[in-house]
A and B are shown apart, each in its own frame.
Chain A
Amino acid sequence: MSLLLSIVFLPAAAGIASYFIRSNRLRRLLWATAAALHFGLSITACQQGTSVNLDHWIGMDSLSAVFLVLTSLLFLGATVYGIGYVAREPVAPRPDTEDGSLVKNEPESIFTGGILLLLSSMSLAILSRHLALQWVAIEGTTLASAPLIYYHQNRRSLEAAWKYLILCSVGIAMALLGIFFIRMTMQDGPRDLTLASLLAQAPTLNHSWLRTAFIFMLVGYGTKMGLAPLHTWLPDAHSEAPAPISALLSGALLNCAFLGILRVQQVCAAAGMAKFGGDLLILFGLVSMGLAGVFILRQADYKRMLAYSSVEHMGILALGVGLGGIGLFGSFLHVINHSIVKAMLFFTAGNIFSRFCTKDTMKVRGACSVLPISGALWIAGFLAITGSPPFGTFVSEFTVLRATLDQGRWIVAALYMLFLLLVFVGMSAIVLRMALGRKTEDGGQRTEGAAQATAPSSVVCHPSSGAEPLTTIIPPLVFAVLALILGVYLPGSLANTLHNAAQLLGGAGK
């Protein structure tokens, strides 16, 4: 019990403390310690197995075990990357890379405090077994991460943070209405919103209220999860945030909102309404995949490309859960694969940005020759995120495909394959052009004939030079290896946990 509580409160305490610590070294040490401790505690909690306590408010089942360890792992990666990142960021005001106006970063204490509070609220969102408490935690993640998006304090990140805060808050308010409606579904028995009592009363829940509640919660948490057409804030926020934050937002935070939807779907499945929720999820999933595919094609900003890829993968997750059966297993496996690979890609994108000083895909050439390791990782990450065979994403995307075929949903299967192909084509054109070739001295101005309006990037940016720092390479490298391992070998205990998680929502294992 106290173990689960400490998983939530330890990072929160560290986060609040780091607002007051003046020394940079001490604060970074605290950050690293908190991340390592959180990882250790999460692993321990998983090994202790499922437990529910505090009157069923906080607890751990197979589903939260998967999400918790994954979040903690990503945070560890983001910590290693992020400490190096903030250490290299200039303290003094400097010209912005795009519009040239002077910008100054947020104080480092606000950044560290925010990221630790984000970890705390994400852990609470994952561990809470009370729907309203989970809502509080998920809204808390929005609040903790908005200042992180605004870290660079330039106009674009300001705009992104504003949109993020407004849209996600409004969306999540819808989810709160949905939670009120869930409360109305309960006819007799204890009217508290813990999962335990909802699941116990599932057969007697009022179906028409539950339907309304599901729609509200899907729209609310779907906004936060980035399901199209509610995703409009996502490309802005994920492309303007600093690299370690983008990795966390895409890899860990979207999962938390997904878990919010999963919990309602779990209640729906127990009430015998899995198909109602499932069909809606399939619809949202396919729309997300298709829309992301269209926007990835000819995307001019490689971080936005990654953000749209997140929309696509959230679509795959929703689709897998919507299908049910082995689709659930595939979807949960895909949660792991996507998070690891996407974090790795955002780290690598950060490395490319720090050398080329532009997010314009047309101005980056020859990443492989300039940054041998990051360039290779960029290509590997592209192969992994598009579901190419040696990587884990292939297994999970294929499992979702199998679910569509098993159920004879030929149209869904065809659209699924079509959208995956669309994304593959769109990303390959961009990524390969960026990675291969030679770096041109004019930064690709030839191809950008009409771009005189923006100042040449070399004027306002001082590109990093020399060997790549270790902290920028180790996290993506480790994640790449993990993604590769998951592609060829799925550990038995992990498969078991995923199987159990799928059974929570009424699905079958592999």
Chain B
Amino acid sequence: MNIISVLLILSCLLLLGSSRLHVAIRVVAAQGLLLGILPIIRSMGDFTLGIWVLALTTIVAKGVLLPWLMSVCLRHTGIRREIEPFIGFGSSLLYGTALLALAVWITARLHLTPAQVPAVPLASSFFAVFVGLFLMVTRRKAITQSLAYLVMENGVYGVGVSMSLDFPFVVELGILLDVFVGVFLMGNLLFHLDREFEHVDADKLTELSDVSDVAQPPSAGIDHPRGRGCHMVEEDA
């Protein structure tokens, strides 16, 4: 279980430091697999049918289907890398270690008995939540935001598993379904974003605002809103 937690932490750090989006998608897929295995290990001894079904659905949904959807999005939008995040990749890693320290500190503060709630998985899950939030606010591409949501949701799921909260089966499935449909809808909207704005930079979504007096950044696609070509392809150095 600790090995999985360490892998989870490493995958989060990898996400913070990498600019290539297809790498990020694979890392998130790997996280989905890890989290699928987690409940099986956690429930050492008493395997019920519910746990197996849940683990399998988690692996299929988070490890296979959603990453596949994301890579389809990636191929269609023609973006390959995250460019110019608000906080650079190197500093992101630094912030990441700070977040990790924060996660460990919070876990320590909770005064949990180790038998009841193992500390390492809990800390790593908190870390994943923080990293998800961090990626959400510091990266520009809308596709990264949906990946960040997935990372955060993975973290929340991990917290639940480490606290060994055996929710009723239906509820667990419902939560998984909500996440799945949510990311599916995000992917769907991504296609439309690409078509309408010719970019998928979430920070340029500024048409709706109450401070309209502030000069709005000119959006790239305003002259040819129907064009299919994508200007955001960067040379893959």
A159 contact set on B, CB distance < 8 A: 205, 207-208
Residue contact B152 to A158, C-beta cutoff 8 Å: no
- The answer for the CA separation of A102 and B160 in the assembled complex, in Å, is 46
Taking a contact as CB atoms under 8 Å apart, the answer to whether A300 and B212 are in contact is: yes
A156 close to chain B: CB less than 8 A: yes
Are B197 and A155 in contact, with the CB atoms below 8 A?
A: yes
A143 touches B178 (CB 8 A): yes
Query: Contacting A161 at CB < 8 Å: which of B133, B156, B189?
Result: B189
Give the A interface residue count (CB, 8 A). Answer: 45
Out of A162, A177, A184, name the residue touching B142 (CB < 8 Å): A162
Known: A101-B226, A156-B208, A158-B192. A139 touches B171 (CB 8 A): no
Are B181 and A180 in contact, CB atoms less than 8 angstroms apart?
no
Chain A 147-173 interface 0/1 with B at a Cβ cutoff of 8 Å (1 = within): 100100111101111110110011001
User: Are A173 and B185 in touch, CB under 8 angstroms?
Assistant: no
- Check: A142 CB closer than 8 A to any chain B CB: yes
Q: Report A-chain residues with C-beta under 8 Å of the C-beta of B174.
A: 133, 136, 140
Known contacts A130-B171, A165-B182; A184 and B202 CB within 8 A of each other? no
Cα distance, A158 to B153, chains bound together (Å): 23
What 0/1 readout, one digit per residue, does chain B (126-144) give for beta carbons within 8 Å of chain A?
0001000100100000100
Contact with A along B196-218 (1 / 0, CB 8 A): 11000010010110101000000
Task: Select which of B129, B171, B185, B197 is within 8 A of A165 by beta carbon.
Answer: B185
Task: Provide the bound-state CA to CA distance between A161 and B190, in Å.
Answer: 11
Residues of chain A within 8 A of B196, CB atoms compared? 154-155, 158
Q: Are A170 and B133 in contact, CB atoms less than 8 angstroms apart?
A: yes
A169 to B202, CA, bound (A): 16
A132-B171, A158-B192, A180-B165 are contacts. A139–B178 as well, Cβ < 8 Å?
yes
Would you call the interface of chain A mostly helix, strand, loop, or mixed? helix
CA distance A154 to B186 in the complex (A): 16
A193 with B167: in contact, given A101-B226, A156-B207 (CB under 8 Å)? yes
Closest to B173 in A: A136
- Interface: A504 (CB within 8 A): no
Q: Of the candidates A135, A162, A239, A300, which one forms a contact with B175 in the assembled complex, judged by CB atoms under 8 Å apart?
A: A135
Whole-angstrom distance between the alpha carbons of A183 and B168 in the complex? 13
Question: Is A176 close to B, CB under 8 A?
Answer: yes
A residues near B226, Cβ cutoff 8 Å = 101-102
A residues in contact with B159, CB < 8 Å = 177, 180
Measured between alpha carbons, how far is A43 from B47 in the docked complex, in Å? 45
Q: Say whether B149 contacts A166, CB under 8 Å.
A: yes
Contacts A156-B207, A166-B186; is A184 near B163 (CB within 8 Å)?
A: yes
In Å, the complex CA distance between A99 and B149 comes to: 31
B160:A180 contact, CB within 8 angstroms = yes
Residues of chain B lying within 8 A (CB to CB) of residue A163: 205, 208
B207 touches A170 (CB 8 A): no
A19 at the interface (CB under 8 A from B): no
Q: What separation, in Å, do the CA atoms of A154 and B222 have in the docked complex?
A: 13
Check: A295 CB closer than 8 A to any chain B CB.
Answer: yes
- Asked if A304 is an interface residue, CB under 8 A from chain B, the answer is yes
A150 to B210, Cβ gap below 8 A?
Answer: no
Which residues B206-237 have CB closer than 8 A to chain A? Answer: 207-208, 210, 212, 222, 225-226
- Is A397 an interface position by the 8 A CB rule? no
Q: Which residues A301-330 have CB closer than 8 A to chain B?
A: 304
Whether B167 pairs with A170 at a CB distance below 8 angstroms is no
- Smallest beta-carbon distance B36→chain A, Å: 18
Q: What 0/1 readout, one digit per residue, does chain A (175-190) give for beta carbons within 8 Å of chain B?
A: 0110010011000000
Q: Tell me the minimal C-beta distance from A152 to chain B in angstroms.
A: 12
Expressed in whole angstroms, the minimum distance between the Cβ of A180 and any Cβ of chain B is: 5
One of A160, A177, A193 near B156 (C-beta < 8 A) = A177
B198 to chain A, nearest CB (A): 11
- 25 A-B pairs within 8 Å (CB atoms) are namely A102-B226, A130-B171, A132-B168, A133-B170, A136-B175, A140-B178, A143-B185, A146-B185, A150-B189, A155-B196, A158-B189, A158-B193, A159-B208, A162-B186, A165-B182, A165-B186, A166-B146, A166-B186, A173-B149, A176-B156, A176-B160, A180-B159, A180-B163, A193-B167, A239-B208
Residues of B within 8 A of A (CB): 129, 133, 136, 142, 145-146, 149, 152-153, 156, 159-160, 163, 165, 167-168, 170-171, 174-175, 177-178, 181-182, 185-186, 189, 192-193, 196-197, 202, 205, 207-208, 210, 212, 222, 225-226
Additional 6 contacts, C-beta under 8 A, given A153-B192, A158-B189, A158-B197 = A130-B168, A136-B177, A142-B182, A158-B192, A158-B193, A236-B208
